[in-house]
Structure 1
């Protein structure tokens, strides 16, 4: 199966052909995928070199002229390094762009910590007005990329990953999707965490919601789910643990509730390893997820049913 990032250049290249407002700004990363598109649209495929502050600044400049810029590089160089430009050039000037990242959290362990950004969504949460898409499958990534580019002049972050669920689900760029119903708690699985969550909760009496758009947070879906399943809520996110706990707490502010946030830990793992090893180390493997989810909700079996992972 191809990856989400494999879909990125073909989808955006087609949008370049279809919409004269669309422009692409790159910082070396991904330039080969746009070689043909650059021949067709030399004024709308721009490579600024390894200058990430300029990457975002150039995107904002294009937006000020009425263009719809799509800005791409690794998450650590797209959100963290040029954060001042994201904050001021886009946010303060109130212009929109589509930021499309790759290799967030620990998708490329061989790149080391310089190429990891588990805090990217949490960092964007300090700013107002961002939509954040976290697809869990290449088909979903294609749909959400099109949603993002078509979203008027909004500020949108699309978080692409090499991690993927086995099958795509219909996504609409807004709402959570109910994939399993239960009566002893709600588990929100974000993007590529869905398959692991479904395996971890097999046999547990919990509702599973699938989230591919996490900002704005679908408070209505969470409230509706808790009315039938109870107000113990577990969030399983592929980035910094606890990123969405405030949003979940706000959604349930008028009822007694408990929220547990699972995701990447704050401790830096100094061995490069593999993606699978990082998932295990952060407690995102099937066995540990079951223990933590089952001990918190799911009828309180504590995850004692034998599973692999």
Structure 2
């Protein structure tokens, strides 16, 4: 199966052909995929070289000129390094664009910590008005890329990953998807975490929600999913499993359930730097995101609420 990033250049190249507003801004990374598109649209495929602050500034400038810029590089160079430009050039100037990242949390372990950005979504969460898509399958990535480009002049972040679920699910760029229903608690699986969450919760009396758009956070879906526990007088127990910094969405879940008794456990990538870079699956296990570890952590938190079905 191809990866999410394999879809990026072909999808955007077609969008460049279809929509004269679309422009792509690159900083060397991924430029080879746009050779043909650059020949056809030399004024709308721009490679600024290894200059990430300029990457963001150029994208925002294109937006000021009325175009719909799609800006792409690794997450550490797209969100972390030029964060001031993201904050000012897009946010302060009140323009929109699409930031598309790759290799965020630990997708390229050999690159080391300089090429890892598990805090990217949390960092964007400090800014106002960003929509954040976290697809879990290449088909979902393609759909959400198209959705992001078509989203008027909104500010959108699309987080691509080499990690993938086995099957794609319907995505609409807004709502959580109910994959499994139960009464003992709710587990929200974000993007490529779904398969591990389903394996970890097999046989447990739990609702599993699937989230590919995490900002805005679908608080209504979470509230509906907790109705069974609240109706039984046991309150709402929620576990968030995210492929980035642990706890990134706990405040959003707390806000959604602010008027009812609840507990929230945020699982994700830990803060400690893992200096033996290894492979992606080794990072997953080290952060407790493999299926076995997730089952232990989820069951330990929910206790009797997660009784076997």
How much has 1:228 moved relative to structure 2? 1.9
SS at 2:226's partner residue?
helix
Verify the 8 A CA contact 2:205 2:307 in the aligned structure 1: no
Q: Aligned partners of 1:22 and 1:244: how far apart in 2?
A: 31
Verify the 8 A CA contact 1:204 1:299 in the aligned structure 2: no
Answering whether residue 253 of structure 2 is matched by residue 248 of structure 1, we say yes
Q: Aligned partners of 2:229 and 2:93: how far apart in 1?
A: 43
How much is the aligned-residue C-alpha RMSD, in angstroms?
1.3
Q: Aligned partners of 1:144 and 1:109: how far apart in 2?
A: 26
The Cα offsets for residues 166-193 of structure 1, whole Å up to 9 and x where unpaired, read as 0000000000000000000000000000
Partner of 1:263: 268
How much has 1:301 moved relative to structure 2? 6.0
Q: Aligned partners of 2:215 and 2:306: how far apart in 1?
A: 32
How much has 1:299 moved relative to structure 2? 3.5
Partner of 2:173: 173
Q: Aligned partners of 1:228 and 1:102: how far apart in 2?
A: 38
SS at 2:25's partner residue?
strand
Partner of 2:43: 43
Partner of 2:3: 3
142 and 301 in structure 1: CA distance in 2 versus 1, 3 angstrom threshold = closer
Q: Aligned partners of 1:251 and 1:67: how far apart in 2?
A: 35
Q: Aligned partners of 2:178 and 2:302: how far apart in 1?
A: 17
SS at 2:221's partner residue?
helix
Which segments of 5 or more consecutive residues in structure 2 lack a partner in the other structure? 231-235
Q: Aligned partners of 2:276 and 2:35: how far apart in 1?
A: 35
Within a 5 Å distance, the mapping from 1:52-201 to structure 2 comes to 52-201=52-201
How much has 1:296 moved relative to structure 2? 1.5
Partner of 2:233: none
TM-score for the superposition, normalised by structure 1: 0.97
